[in-house]
């Protein structure tokens, strides 16, 4: 079900669990989003040199550069403060608050595909949500 309103929206999806990344990427692409997949935070950060995504969806626990470090690095880049972030983790959200990172939505794994799609549609196609995390 591809909508014309989402066709130009770019989503950067970062997770070291490749099977998860591929499934989520496929679902988002079927919705009409342009999806870039990365297997770790360093790869994602390097890819940001090609331009800012409209949305970053990242796992928290990853090798090399975790989700908190990726979000902090994103926020330091020109235009990076304007990119909404969805943070995913199997850990409770309270455990992530100690990192003091700014994100719009937290999704605790496992989550449903409909929950992810609702979140992405709200962030990219609807009114902006108030940040869940701190700056």
Reported pTM: 0.87
Burial 42-58 (b: 16+ CB within 10 A, else e): bbbbeebeeebbbbbbb
Average pLDDT over residues 121-134: 68
| 129 has a pLDDT exceeding 60 | no
pLDDT of residue 132: 53
**Structure confidence by residue, pLDDT tens digits, 45-82:** 998 888 999 999 999 999 889 999 999 999 999 999 99
Which CATH number is 10-125 given? 3.40.50.2300
Per domain, the residue ranges of the chain are 10-125
């Amino acid at each position: 079900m591809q909508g014309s309103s989402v066709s130009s929206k770019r989503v950067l999806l970062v997770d070291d669990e490749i099977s998860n990344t591929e499934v989520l990427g496929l679902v988002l692409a079927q919705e009409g989003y342009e999806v870039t997949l990365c297997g770790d935070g360093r790869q994602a950060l390097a890819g940001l040199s090609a331009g800012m995504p409209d949305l970053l969806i990242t796992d928290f626990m990853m090798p090399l550069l975790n989700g908190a470090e990726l979000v902090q690095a994103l926020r330091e880049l020109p235009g990076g403060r304007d990119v909404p972030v969805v943070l995913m983790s199997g850990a409770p959200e309270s455990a992530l608050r100690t990192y003091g990172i700014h994100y719009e939505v937290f999704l605790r794994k496992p989550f449903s595909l409909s929950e992810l799609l609702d979140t992405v549609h709200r962030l990219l196609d609807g009114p902006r949500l108030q940040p869940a995390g701190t700056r």
